[in-house]
Amino acid sequence: MSTRYPRPQPGREYVLTLSCPDSAGLVHAVSGFLVRNSGNILESQQFDDRLQGRFFMRVHFDVSDPNANLETLRYRFGPVAEAYGISWILRDASTPTRTLIMVSKFGHCLNDLLFRCRTGALNIEIPAIVSNHREFESLAETYGIPFHHVPVTRDTKPEAEARLLELMRDLDVDLVVLARYMQILSDDLCKQLEGRAINIHHSFLPSFKGAKPYDQAYDRGVKLVGATAHYVTSDLDEGQIIEQDVVRVDHSLDPGELVTVGRDVEAQVLAHAVKWHSESRVMVDGNRTVVFR
């Protein structure tokens, strides 16, 4: 029997995330809005970036008034946001994030995300898997998820990226996850995916870029192997970092064993990043992120 995780109640639980210039009365304004709309706070986190003078907040709340639906709440929060110069998103906490997964020839991250989704550990829907190879077509079939083989060469890259954007539009995709998708996206595509595409990098950035990172790590005699999940930007592997982790290793591990250890870290780090993004726990702050774990 699969383990199911509790889910927010549809139409009753919401998540409000906001950022704005820091000023007095912000928390009072938000809490006052909730009180006026029969809101009960289930979880609240905030952060003052004193260096930049910006305020960040995430509030998970439920409402008892059946007439206080999502659109009504958005309409009523508008004047509050305008008064304080707030950038904000209000969403139904129960709505799963529609997530398209891209993969090449390494399937450990894909397999982990599929399993976590099936068991309810991630509040996401996966409408499609896209790959430039066919290795994981049967895995997708096992989970009942449509698999799209989109080959990529130097000459066909524009057509492949156009196909990806077409799929995103047709499937109403919220998030793209590069689960060891070993193709560099064009600058134009990166800009179109800004803030809604997550990549997993097989090192503790910015170390060991390029080919065969674990061989590079072995040659340098590393004592830690890590992974970094970050948003995709046109600056290769330099997007805003969401999550990182490391595991201690020693001289006894050969490059193949380092790969095995590293893949475990990659899968866990990527799963954390996808979970936090899908729960509106990640907010971009310039080149950094605020993560309300």
DSSP state of 95: P
Cβ neighbours of 100 (radius 10 Å): 21
Here the tokens at position 20 are: 């704005």
For strands 175-178 and 197-201, give the pairing: parallel
DSSP state of 91: E
219 a catalytic residue: no
Assess contact for 198 and 227: CB atoms under 8 A.
no
Reported residue count of the chain is 293
Assess contact for 45 and 292: CB atoms under 8 A.
yes
Among residues 22, 92, 215, 237, the one annotated as catalytic is: 237
Q: Kindly list the distances between the CA atom of residue 4 and the CA atoms of 23, 83, 119, 122, 128, in Å, as whole numbers in the listed order.
A: 41, 42, 6, 10, 22
Cα dihedral 71, 42, 292, 36, rounded to 10, equals: 40
For strands 224-231 and 241-248, give the pairing: antiparallel
Here the tokens at position 236 are: 């290769």
User: Which of 88, 119, 114 lies closest to 101, judged by CA?
Assistant: 114
* Catalytic (active-site) positions: 237
